[in-house]
Chains A and B, each alone.
Chain A
Amino acid sequence: MSRRRCAEVAEGDELPTLRVRLTRADLVRYAGASGDFNPIHWSDRAARDAGLPDVIAHGMLTMALATRLVTTWAGDPGAVVDCAVRFTRPVVVPDDTGGALIEFSGKVTKRRDDRTVVVAITARAAGQTVLSQATATVELH
């Protein structure tokens, strides 16, 4: 494992796609790990009361997975110096064995002289984008 070299990267390069299936158990686990116990992420009743169709994934879990796409590609997770997303649609996670499938893809949109690159990330669930303006800035070697 080592940090990717900037010389090997060009604008327009695409990152390997990441597909992640989230179930209710994953949301409970993330709630515990992150300390975000908002009940809309685990209680049907709380989700309904909040006007949501069903329990939804933590936006931060979706962002963590979107960032994972980039850290895996970068080789060294410490290379990601900046990451930002807007949460545009909730990821609905039904209480069944299938859960919700999210697909992440990324593309290098900028390669700067200081060996930093910008990756634009796309995240789709149930045929719709769930993040917008999702980017990561990576310091390569």
Chain B
Amino acid sequence: MVLDPAFVGRCYPGAGTYQVGREKIREFADAIGDGNPAYRNPQAAQALGYADVIAPPTFAIILALRAQEKLIHDPQLGLDYSRLVHGSQSFTHHRPITAGDELAATLHVESIRAMAGNDMLTVRCEITDCAGAPVTTARSMLVIRAADA
């Protein structure tokens, strides 16, 4: 195993909060080719019962990636970024991420396992609002492919 298993159980509170803006949501929706008015038009989102435009379900990856950065690049972990591939991903939304939200993200290292020569790192990102209420749980399994023999 390349990765240091001592990292399991560690927790990385995010540096600062993330301010969710209408234009970032629109940019993300454009990038996934989704013209849904709930991502673009506050009146359309309000008609669905939201305070402002909401974000697509996978928008939370922006926060999860930011929360992962410190861990991934920690030299003690021993992760070779060039061999990293995404194994699996899930999101559980307690409510939709909404423009105007100020969110905090904390990363938890859930497991490190070796399988068929590859290392598998599972992390969980807990996203909360400024009052600490849960918004989204994002779980990522990252595969670090074995070096070529």
Binding site for B on A (CB under 8 A): 1-3, 20, 26, 29-30, 32-36, 38, 46, 49-51, 58-61, 63-65, 67-68, 71-72, 76-78, 80-87, 90, 133, 136
Distance A115 CA – B20 CA, assembled complex (angstroms):
30
Task: Tell me if A33 and B30 are in contact (CB < 8 A).
Answer: yes
Distance A65 CA – B34 CA, assembled complex (angstroms):
8
- Given A20, A61, A65, A82, which contacts B91 in the complex, CB threshold below 8 Å? A82
Task: Tell me if B86 and A87 are in contact (CB < 8 A).
Answer: yes
Task: Tell me if A49 and B82 are in contact (CB < 8 A).
Answer: yes
Tell me the B42-69 residues at the A interface (CB within 8 Å): 44, 47-48, 50, 54, 56-58, 61-62, 65-66
A86 to B, closest residue via Cβ: B88
26 contacts between A and B (CB under 8 A): A1-B37, A1-B38, A2-B48, A26-B33, A33-B32, A35-B66, A36-B65, A46-B82, A59-B86, A59-B89, A63-B58, A67-B56, A67-B57, A71-B36, A77-B54, A77-B56, A77-B57, A78-B48, A78-B50, A78-B96, A81-B93, A83-B58, A85-B88, A85-B90, A87-B87, A87-B88
State how many angstroms separate the Cβ of A86 from the closest Cβ of chain B: 4
- Given B54, B61, B145, which contacts A78 in the complex, CB threshold below 8 Å? B54
- Given A20, A33, A50, which contacts B27 in the complex, CB threshold below 8 Å? A33
Interface status of B31 (Cβ within 8 A of chain A) = yes
The 8 closest A-B CB pairs, nearest first, are A84-B90, A33-B31, A78-B96, A59-B86, A64-B32, A86-B88, A64-B58, A30-B31
Residues of A within 8 A of B39 (CB): 77
Residues of A within 8 A of B57 (CB): 67, 71, 77, 80, 83, 136
State how many angstroms separate the Cβ of B4 from the closest Cβ of chain A: 22
Q: Mark B89-127, 1 if CB is under 8 A from A, else 0.
A: 111110110000000000000000000000000000000
B92 to A, closest residue via Cβ: A82
Question: With A77-B96, A82-B93 known to touch, is A32 a contact of B31 (CB < 8 Å)?
Answer: yes
- Given B30, B33, B36, B62, which contacts A35 in the complex, CB threshold below 8 Å? B62
Distance A32 CA – B57 CA, assembled complex (angstroms):
18
Residues of A within 8 A of B65 (CB): 34-36
Distance A32 CA – B148 CA, assembled complex (angstroms):
31
State how many angstroms separate the Cβ of A27 from the closest Cβ of chain B: 10
Question: With A77-B38, A78-B38, A81-B93 known to touch, is A86 a contact of B61 (CB < 8 Å)?
Answer: no
Distance A58 CA – B96 CA, assembled complex (angstroms):
23
Residues of A within 8 A of B31 (CB): 26, 29-30, 32-34, 61
Task: Tell me if B44 and A87 are in contact (CB < 8 A).
Answer: no
B90 to A, closest residue via Cβ: A84
State how many angstroms separate the Cβ of A26 from the closest Cβ of chain B: 8
